[in-house]
Structure 1
Amino acid sequence: MSRLTKIEQETVINFNAGEEEAVVYTRDKAVIRKLDSLVTEFPEAYRCIKATDIDKTYSMPKQYVSYRKPRRITQERRDQIRTQMENINNSRK
């Protein structure tokens, strides 16, 4: 695989109301690894439909594309998590 800049490592998801499948085109190695593992684990749902040395194109049911609300954490909970992580990191020293 050629060396791509961060800007060139794009992922494009394309689907419309008239079709049941979504098409994912990506040049991002992390996304390729994730989708390749899904293709291996769930070949009935995820398919690699085209591959070159720098990109891959996948097909999947469009219902598998999801939108999520951002997680809301109170400042109190952030402080708790920060303290826990500090304790974990200090115990490793």
Structure 2
Amino acid sequence: MKLSKYEQETIINFNVAESDAVVFTRDKAVIRKLDALVTEFPEVYKCIGETDIDKTYSMPKQYVSYRKPRRISVERREQIKKQMSQINCKRNS
């Protein structure tokens, strides 16, 4: 079944009283990432339900993170741009 981009949602649910978070997703990319984590770390990540269009996972809520956006100065951005240009020139030579 083909889902619209709007229908390809991911919902993360947890509360203060419990130690685990529940992740419900219909996004194929998120499913692939979480399936890989379930395979690599089965004692931590668990697939607790699935249908033909979605999956539900359980994981410790401490692995849900919030991050600040990375800030790069204009000078640093120019340095990175020059470095990448040099790397690409070496590859093309």
Identity %: 73
How many residue pairs end up in the alignment?
Answer: 92
Q: How well do the aligned residues superpose, as a CA RMSD in angstroms?
A: 1.3
- Dislocated runs of 4+, deviation >6 Å: none
TM-score by structure 1 length? 0.89
Return the alpha-carbon distance in structure 2 between the equivalents of residues 75 and 42 of structure 1: 40
Secondary structure in structure 1 of the residue aligned to 2:57 = strand
Q: Which runs of no fewer than 5 residues in structure 1 stay unpaired?
A: none
Query: Given the alignment of the two structures, is residue 68 of structure 1 paired with residue 67 of structure 2, yes or no?
Result: yes
Tell me the CA shift for residue 37 of structure 1. 0.6
Q: TM-score, structure 2 length as denominator?
A: 0.89
Residue 92 of structure 1 and its aligned partner are, at CA, apart by 4.1
Render the CA deviation track for 1:31-81: whole Å, top value 9, x for unaligned.
101100110111111100111111100001111111111111111111111
What are the equivalent positions in structure 2 for 1:45-84 lying under 5 Å apart?
Answer: 45-84=44-83
User: 1:22 is matched with which residue?
Assistant: 21
Q: Structure 2: any 5+ residue segments left out of the alignment? A: none
Q: Distance in 1 between matches of 2:80 and 2:6?
A: 33
